[in-house]
Chains A and B, each alone.
Chain A
Amino acid sequence: MKLITAIIQPHKLEDVLQELDKNEIHLRTVSDVIGCGRQKGRTEVYRGRKETGGCLKKVRLEIAVNEDFVQPTIKAIMAAAKTGNIGDGKIFITDLVECIRIRTGEKGQEAIG
Chain B
Amino acid sequence: MINSGDTAWVLISTALVMLMTIPGLAFFYGGLVRRKNVLSTIMQSFFVLCLISIQWILWGYSLSFGPDIGHFIGNLSWAGLRNVGLAPNPDYAATIPHQLFMVYQMMFAVITPGLITGAFAERIKFSTYIVFTLLWATLIYDPVCHWVWGTGGWLKNLGVMDFAGGIVVHITSGVSALVCALVIGKRRGYGREPMSPHNLTLTVLGAGLLWFGWFGFNAGSALSANGVAVSAFIATNTAAAAAALTWMFIEWKLVSKPTMLGGATGAVAGLATITPASGFVSPFAAIIIGIMAAVICYIAVAVIKLKFTYDDSLDAFGVHGVGGTIGAFATGLFAQKLINPAGANGLFFGNPSQLMVQSIGIAATVIYSVSVTFVILKVLDLVMGLRVSDEEEVIGLDITQHEESAYTLLD
Report A's interface with B, CB cutoff 8 A.
44-49, 51-54
Contact = CB atoms under 8 A, between A and B. Distances in A.
A51 B196 contact: yes
Given A45-B259, A48-B251, A53 B196 contact: yes
Interface majority SS (helix, strand, loop, mixed), chain A: strand
B306 A54 contact: no
Contacts of A47: 261-262, 265, 301-302, 315
A44 B262 contact: no
Contacts of A52: 194
Nearest to B195: A51
8 contacts: A44-B196, A45-B256, A45-B257, A45-B259, A47-B315, A48-B251, A51-B195, A53-B194
Contacts of A54: 194
Could you say which of A47, A48, A49 has the most chain B C-beta atoms within 10 Å of its C-beta? A47
A34 to B, nearest CB: 12
B255 interface: yes
Contacts of B262: 47
A53 B197 CA distance: 12
A108 B196 CA distance: 46
Contacts of B298: 48
A49 B256 contact: no
Interface in B295-312: 298, 301-303, 306
Contacts of B302: 47-49
Interface size class of B (residues with CB under 8 A): 10 to 19
B244 to A, nearest CB: 13
Nearest to A51: B194
Contacts of A51: 194-196
A45 B251 contact: yes
Contacts of B255: 45, 48
Contacts of A53: 194, 196
A64 B261 CA distance: 43
Nearest to A52: B194
A52 B194 CA distance: 7
Nearest to B265: A47
Contacts of B251: 45, 48
B318 to A, nearest CB: 8
A45 to B, nearest CB: 6
B93 to A, nearest CB: 38
A44 B260 CA distance: 13
Interface in B249-296: 251, 255-257, 259, 261-262, 265
B103 to A, nearest CB: 35
Contacts of B315: 47
Contacts of B259: 45-46
Contacts of B265: 47
Q: Please give me the 3 A-B residue pairs with the lowest Cβ-Cβ distance, nearest first.
A: A48-B302, A51-B194, A53-B194
A54 B194 CA distance: 8
A49 to B, nearest CB: 6
A48 B194 CA distance: 14
Given A46-B196, A48-B255, A51-B194, 16 more contacts: A44-B196, A45-B255, A45-B256, A45-B257, A46-B197, A46-B259, A47-B265, A47-B302, A48-B251, A48-B298, A48-B301, A48-B303, A48-B306, A49-B306, A53-B196, A54-B194
B121 to A, nearest CB: 14
A48 B262 CA distance: 9
A48 B255 CA distance: 7
B185 to A, nearest CB: 18
Nearest to A55: B194
B177 to A, nearest CB: 15
Contacts of B196: 44, 46, 51, 53
Nearest to B259: A45
Contacts of A44: 196
A5 B256 CA distance: 36
Contacts of B303: 48
A84 to B, nearest CB: 25
Nearest to A54: B194
Contacts of A46: 196-197, 259, 261
B260 to A, nearest CB: 11
Nearest to A43: B256
Contacts of B194: 51-54
A53 B195 CA distance: 9
Contacts of B261: 46-47
A49 B256 CA distance: 12
Could you say which of B194, B265, B303 has the most chain A C-beta atoms within 10 Å of its C-beta? B194
